[in-house]
């Protein structure tokens, strides 16, 4: 399994320097909890780590290579879940997952999808439009990607939003198990992670004026 290294990253948005000269490593087999107040730049940093946006300075390395030079391999090894569920509200849970798998060249089987939806407590809700699900149920459908794709690196932006106590425990357990198998996880959250998630490395972003 592989980790990520951020090397002297600088990110500027509308003349405000969100962070500068930021370096850190996300080793294989680690869970990093990215903290900071609203507007500090957590989402901006996660998007840099995915390669979806580019830093003003610095670079990100995957397997010691700049991600820009190995984007297809990197993205094949990555699951990114943004702070919005990223679902088509007119499609069902099954249709959304099928579409996502096709987009990411992941083999899809109804059997596997039902198994994952069962783990996530969504049985009976799999074939109605997403817009008819509650916020927490929609979040669970979005998180199903973490069970469907075998990816080394998980980049998760506020994945606990709208989850109930059981949902939080389920996700923390899944994160821990991924890390114990050598996976790399970085996640934001406005609530502290519990001991269920296992050992955590903290990465704090200050709000810079
Ligand atoms: N595309 C953009 N154009 C201009 N400014 C942006 C853009 N994206 C983010 N920003 C600004 O960058 C700052 C950091 O935003 P970001 O979403 O990274 O913060 P965050 O730490 O994730 O906040 P929150 O905890 O509220 O989700 C904000 O002030 C935001 O207005």
Measured in angstroms, how far is the CA atom of residue 23 from the centroid of ligand 1?
20
Q: Does the interface predicted TM-score (ipTM) exceed 0.90?
A: yes
Ligand 1, residues at Cβ distance < 6 Å: 13-14, 18, 36, 38-44
Closest Cα to atom 27 of ligand 1: 38
Instruction: Report the predicted TM-score, pTM, of the whole model to 2 decimal places.
Output: 0.96
Instruction: Label each residue of the chain as H, E or C.
Output: CCCEEEEEEEEEECCEEEEEEEEEEECCCEEEEEECCCCCCHHHHHHHHHCCCCCCEEEEEECCEEHHHCHHHHHHCEEEECCCCCCCCCCEHHHHHHHHHHHCCCCCCHHHHHHHHHHCCCCCCCCCEHHHCCHHHHHHHHHCHHHHCCCCEEEECCCCCCCCHHHHHHHHHHHHHHHHCCCEEEEECCCCCCHHHCCCEEEECCCCC
The residue to mutate among 20, 43, 83, 204, having the most atoms of ligand 1 within 8 angstroms of its beta carbon, is 43
Q: What is the pLDDT of residues 80-137, one digit of tens each?
A: 999 999 999 999 999 999 999 999 999 999 999 999 999 999 999 999 999 999 999 9
- Ligand 1 atom closest to Cα of residue 41: 18
Which domains are delineated in the chain?
4-204 (3.40.50.300)
Q: What is the pLDDT of residues 168-181, one digit of tens each?
A: 999 999 999 999 99
Q: Which protein residue's CA is at the shortest distance from atom 26 of ligand 1?
A: 38
Q: Report how far residue 73's alpha carbon sits from residue 87's, in angstroms, rounded to the nearest whole number.
A: 24
Residue 72: CB partners within 8 Å, gap ≥ 6? Answer: none
């Amino acid at each position: 399994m592989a980790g990520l290294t951020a090397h002297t990253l600088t990110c500027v948005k509308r003349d405000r320097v969100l962070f500068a000269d930021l370096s850190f490593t996300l080793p294989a087999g680690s869970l990093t909890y990215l903290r900071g107040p609203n507007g500090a730049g957590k989402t901006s940093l996660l998007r840099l780590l995915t390669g979806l946006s580019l830093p003003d300075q610095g670079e990100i390395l995957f397997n010691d290579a700049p991600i820009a030079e190995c984007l297809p391999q990197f993205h094949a090894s990555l699951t990114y879940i943004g702070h919005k569920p990223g679902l088509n509200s007119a499609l069902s849970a099954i249709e959304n997952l099928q579409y996502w798998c096709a987009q990411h060249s992941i083999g899809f089987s109804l059997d596997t999808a039902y198994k994952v939806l069962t783990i996530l407590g969504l049985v009976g809700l799999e074939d109605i439009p997403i817009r008819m699900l509650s916020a927490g149920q929609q979040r669970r459908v979005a998180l199903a990607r973490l069970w469907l794709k075998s990816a080394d690196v998980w980049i998760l932006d506020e994945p606990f939003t709208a989850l109930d106590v059981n949902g939080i425990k389920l996700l923390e357990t899944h994160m821990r198990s991924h890390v114990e198998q050598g996976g790399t996880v970085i996640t934001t959250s406005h609530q502290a992670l519990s001991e269920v998630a296992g050992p955590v490395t903290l990465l704090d972003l200050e709000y810079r004026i």
